[in-house]
């Protein structure tokens, strides 16, 4: 059966099938007004009005000057903590706006410094061609180092190609001389700490060619050349896909056929003739020669032989086994991270 045509929702009656008695909706409890005019329910509790939102009562302002110093300090600290924990409405957008302004300011500052570095290098080149001392880069060096040492400006340094100015300062001068030693000693240790330099940054700045020049130039100080070599090996490792681990390092070993044949024995006459030839070049025959170490640097390891051959084979097998285990571990780690 259809329901009655009443418009009010309270008059709706649901009839059960089979002639059962209809179930009426629960009747609303009547409310009454208290003596002060507020509505109350049957228990006597004040009734809340849904259409009105209760406003939070504002805490009265406290005059901290009238309180004891310790209590005033505690209240002031609590107020600061509340201001940090409960930011006001719209503070997030304001913070984002401030961050954008800081990034824009950092980009402008780095771009201005790059132009100043290139301009200083050009002025020094002109001064050297005219026979005058080059001082513009030395005057700007403290400001440049302050910017390069700030890790917060790393992204701005990459975006605005500040390393192009660094490359310009490290290039050889027009008279084929290298830059001042204090400029080299400031830049090279700092470049070693810049982990954000990758192949794209090197391609854009052209810094890799200058590093190769410093590894080959004989006029460069040994510590600077050593740092330049470390930078070249570090930067070229991702390009040639070589691991930085010493466990994966491959050392070429001299083959047995390439090794020169060792003489079995030398006659006494040959030894004496060689000693006589060496005596001819001595100015003072009675003077004692100063011993000199002539070890040199080797890139190919000698192949061991004789009694140590078995141990060398076992060491090579152990190294190969460790390398394969490390490779399997890397593959498993990639699979776990991919999941």
pLDDT 10s digits, 119-174: 999 999 999 999 898 899 999 999 999 999 988 888 899 989 899 999 999 999 98
What are the structural domain ranges in the chain?
91-242
Q: What pLDDT is attached to residue 94?
A: 62
CA dihedral in degrees (177, 183, 185, 188; nearest 10)? -90
pLDDT exceeds cutoff 50 at 311: yes
Q: What pLDDT is attached to residue 140?
A: 93
pLDDT 10s digits, 86-95: 655 555 666 6
Pick 91 or 212 by higher pLDDT.
Answer: 212
Mean pLDDT for 266-292 is 69
- Distance between CA atoms of residues 140 and 146, nearest Å: 10
pLDDT exceeds cutoff 60 at 250: yes
- Distance between CA atoms of residues 314 and 309, nearest Å: 9
pLDDT exceeds cutoff 90 at 25: no
Contact 162, 147 (CB under 8 A): yes
Mean pLDDT for 272-283 is 70
Mean pLDDT for 306-332 is 76
CATH class, range 91-242: mainly alpha
Angle at Cα 146 formed by Cα 114 and Cα 119, nearest 5°? 25
Give residue for tokens 């939102």.
53
Phi, psi of 40 (to 5 degrees): -130, 150
For 307, the enclosing helix (H) or strand (E) is: none
- Distance between CA atoms of residues 178 and 171, nearest Å: 7
Binning the chain into helix, strand and coil, the percentages to the nearest 5 are 55, 5, 40
Structure token digits, residue 224: 């600077």
Give residue for tokens 């259809």.
2
Q: How many CB atoms lie within 10 A of CB 110?
A: 23
pLDDT exceeds cutoff 90 at 213: yes
Q: The whole model's pTM is what?
A: 0.49
């Amino acid at each position: 059966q259809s329901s009655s045509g009443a418009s009010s929702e309270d008059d709706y009656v649901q009839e059960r099938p089979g002639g059962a008695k209809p179930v009426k909706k629960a009747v609303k409890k009547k409310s009454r007004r208290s003596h002060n005019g507020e509505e109350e329910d049957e228990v006597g509790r004040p009734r809340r009005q849904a259409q009105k939102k209760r406003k939070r009562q504002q805490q009265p302002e406290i005059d901290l000057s009238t309180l004891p110093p310790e209590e005033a300090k505690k209240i002031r600290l609590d107020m600061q903590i509340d201001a940090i924990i409960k930011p006001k409405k719209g503070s997030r957008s304001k913070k984002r706006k401030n961050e954008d302004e800081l990034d824009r300011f950092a980009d402008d500052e780095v771009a201005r410094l790059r132009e100043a570095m290139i301009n200083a290098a050009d002025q020094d080149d002109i001064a050297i061609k005219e026979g005058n001392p080059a001082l513009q880069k030395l005057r700007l060096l403290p400001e440049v180092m302050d910017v390069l040492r700030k890790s917060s400006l790393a992204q701005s340094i990459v975006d605005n190609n500040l390393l192009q100015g660094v490359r310009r300062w490290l290039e050889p001068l027009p008279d084929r001389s290298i830059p001042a030693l204090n400029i080299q000693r400031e830049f090279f240790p700092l470049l070693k700490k810049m982990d954000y330099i990758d192949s794209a940054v090197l391609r854009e700045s052209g810094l890799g060619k200058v590093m190769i020049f410093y590894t080959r130039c004989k006029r460069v100080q040994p510590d600077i050349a050593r740092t330049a070599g470390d930078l070249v090996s570090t930067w070229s490792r991702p390009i040639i896909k070589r691991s930085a681990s010493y466990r994966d390092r491959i050392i070429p070993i001299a083959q047995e056929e390439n090794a020169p044949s060792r003489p079995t024995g030398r006659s006494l006459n040959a030894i004496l003739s060689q000693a006589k030839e060496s005596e001819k070049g001595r100015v003072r025959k009675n003077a004692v020669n100063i011993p000199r170490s002539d070890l040199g640097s080797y890139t190919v390891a000698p192949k061991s032989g004789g009694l140590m051959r078995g141990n060398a084979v076992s060491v090579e097998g152990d190294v190969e086994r460790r390398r394969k285990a490390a490779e399997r571990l890397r593959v498993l780690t990639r699979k776990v991270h991919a999941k």
